[in-house]
Amino acid sequence: MIWNETKECMSRDEIQTLQSARLVKMVNRVYHNVEFYRKKMQQMGLEPGDIQGIEDITKLPYTTKDDLRDNYPFGLFAVPESEIVRVHASSGTTGKATVVGYTRRDIEMWSECVARVLTMGGVGRNDKVQISYGYGLFTGGLGAHYGAENVGAMVIPLSTGNTKKQITLMEDFGVTTICCTPSYLMYLTEALEDAGKVDKIKLKSAICGAEPWTDGMRNEIERRLGITAYDIYGLSEILGPGVAGDCEHHTGLHVYEDHFVPEIIDPKTLQPVKEGTVGELVFTTITKEALPLFRYRTKDLTSISYDKCPCGRTMARLSRFQGRSDDMLIIRGVNVFPSQVEAALLELGGVTPNYLLVVDRINNLDTLEVQVEADDNFNFDEIRELENMTKKITRTLEQALGIAAHVKLVEPKTLARSEGKAKRVIDNRKLL
């Protein structure tokens, strides 16, 4: 089943014609409504008229997460605030969130994109979809929710946590599809096995995203639960989940090019790379009303192919992600920058900003250990004092990062000192 065959199966020519028309329109609108981009274009000597079609996209300036933060909260919005019907936000590196907004039409477009992904995953009006992504400022929960409603499925908005309840309702309601992070699905798989419930549930598919996973993990989940698992990709700056998704052939993530134009660039030279070459993924939104972005640098490393998929869809496909061009970590679906840890520790005082993040996956759940040096500022004569300090650091980090971390005190001057690029992260998860 294809949700929107007219769009999803367009020929390359049709796609480019549509993209050209939409890009020209969007550049005009942005130039006149967003001061940030107008100034940037003026500095570059670029006028809206210089963008005649999709081939001119490389003339446009790049946008980074910093640009969003610098214009916090609503500085990049291209519509009056009265047009905004929803905002979401993700945590930023310095405590300031990255805020994204949506008009009513943006929400409709978002539901359309998620509906396409769900349909690719075989979800239809007869399905019962359990949404186990977090609801709230995070785009995962509500994004998947609206898409599932759009396909006409029965939606069960469970959000995250309370695995026991998740299992009970999954069994009692006869849930057929679950939307959650891959690591949570692995965790749930074990819980279902322990409870002897695998044969009692009616689950047939899972739509997983918000963190990287491997084919090995997918196969493992599919084998143990007897389901098919699909990948959904997105980022809040561009939309949220639903920018791309994979089909039953698992040939890569189909990007909805009628709304988002992907490019792959060399993160050092910022020049586009040849088709099939790995580089940094960049997106230009061409239909977003509230927050249109030119060439947003995702920092995700991947490659693109444009050949037709056996499923019949024609849009560009992204290969498996190969990591990031910055130091962002995705832990339990949450974006974590090592610099956030540093900022939190500095703010706390009494601790050296010498730290090491050790990320691992234990029992299929991501764990984060933060090693901190107990330096001379510590009163390390008393265990009680040290324990208080550990608790204080744990609380501060949880507030700053949005996830719990295990804080481990280590001897002073044992963590590597910064010599050029300090090693701040050890990631023991086997993902790629």
Q: Where on the chain is the footprint of other proteins (CB under 8 A)?
A: 374-376, 378-383, 386-387, 408-414
Q: What span, in angstroms and rounded, lies between the C-alpha atoms of 167 and 163?
A: 6
In the complex with other proteins, the residue whose CB is nearer, 13 or 382, is 382
What are the backbone dihedrals phi and psi of residue 301, each rounded to the nearest 5 degrees, phi first? -100, 125
Q: What span, in angstroms and rounded, lies between the C-alpha atoms of 426 and 415?
A: 12
**Would you say how long the chain is, in residues?**
432
In the complex with other proteins, the residue whose CB is nearer, 386 or 431, is 386
Query: Residue 399: is it exposed, middle or buried by C-beta count within 10 angstroms (0-12/13-18/19+)?
Result: exposed
CB of 8 to other proteins, least distance (A): 54
Residue 156 and residue 169 in contact, taking contact as beta carbons nearer than 8 Å: yes
In the complex with other proteins, the residue whose CB is nearer, 34 or 372, is 372
In the complex with other proteins, the residue whose CB is nearer, 169 or 386, is 386
In the complex with other proteins, the residue whose CB is nearer, 186 or 409, is 409
CB of 423 to other proteins, least distance (A): 19
Q: What span, in angstroms and rounded, lies between the C-alpha atoms of 187 and 361?
A: 11
DSSP string, 146-190: HHHHHTTPEEEE--S--HHHHHHHHHHHT--EEEE-HHHHHHHHH
Q: What span, in angstroms and rounded, lies between the C-alpha atoms of 219 and 182?
A: 11
Q: What span, in angstroms and rounded, lies between the C-alpha atoms of 54 and 48?
A: 13
CB of 357 to other proteins, least distance (A): 17
Q: What span, in angstroms and rounded, lies between the C-alpha atoms of 288 and 295?
A: 13
CB of 411 to other proteins, least distance (A): 5
Q: Nearest Cα to 108, choosing from 289, 292, 255, 311?
A: 289
CB of 195 to other proteins, least distance (A): 31
CB of 384 to other proteins, least distance (A): 8
In the complex with other proteins, the residue whose CB is nearer, 275 or 387, is 387
Q: What span, in angstroms and rounded, lies between the C-alpha atoms of 259 and 7?
A: 10
CB of 31 to other proteins, least distance (A): 57
In the complex with other proteins, the residue whose CB is nearer, 265 or 356, is 356
